Amino acid sequence: MNNVRYDDSFNINEWSVLIGFAVGLTVILLLPRRFPLKKSIVFFMIGATTGFFFDHTLGVIPVDYYDINDTSKFKFIDAIAYFMYGPVGYLFFYLYDRLTISASNSPIYVLACAACSISFEWIAHLVGVFHYKHGYSIAYSFPIYLIVLSCWVVIFHLTKQMQR
């Protein structure tokens, strides 16, 4: 895999990642507690793991569809970028539970969340967090979001069943 260098300085993409992560964590801490601590940690981790999983499969060989931040190499700021998905995961589960969405309405909720995710990804692409390669475009992310968020809904119902 050739190492592509997009820029060398600490600029808008790094600041976006740091601010995004800080805002996400602040929102989690400010929201009234809804789940037990262990469950909250698991929901956060599910979000972060999804980020790590897709970026370490779609973003590396054999497909290598995109790079994150300044270079093709893995950097510390990339890890923070993946952990940015943690608050996203937590908020997804939080709102799903808070709005008491029924199973029949969950596809609408998933669609709305996928639309939000696409908007955030587009902003991240504009500020230089994502660099698409080999014909990949944001349109391909949309079905991925739909599948991932649907899996999250299934996980939510499974964790609820386990509690009973």
Partner 1 sequence: MTLSLFVLIAWVVVIIFVKMPKHISYLDIIFLYCLSLILSTNTFTILDVNLHFVEISRKVEKSFAVITERVITIPLLLIMSANVMHSCIKWYKKLFVVITILIVLLSFHLLLSRMGVLTKHHWKFAFSVLMYTSFALLINLFSWWFVRLGRRKAEND
Smallest distance from the beta carbon of 156 to partner 1, in angstroms?
12
Q: Is 143 in the site for partner 1 (CB under 8 A)?
A: no
What's the one-letter identity of residue 158? Answer: L
CB of 157 to partner 1, least distance (A): 13
Site for partner 1 in 42-71 (CB under 8 A): 42, 45-46, 48-49, 52-53, 56-57, 60-62
Residue 134 binds partner 1 (CB under 8 A): no
Alpha-carbon gap, residue 18 to 137, rounded angstroms: 24
Ranges of beta strands (E only) in the chain are: 66-68, 130-132
- Distance from C-alpha of 54 to C-alpha of 74, rounded to nearest angstrom: 14
- Computed over its alpha carbons, how large is the radius of gyration of the chain? 16
**Residues making contact with partner 1 (CB under 8 A):** 1, 36-39, 41-42, 45-46, 48-49, 52-53, 56-57, 60-62, 72-74, 79, 155, 158-159, 162
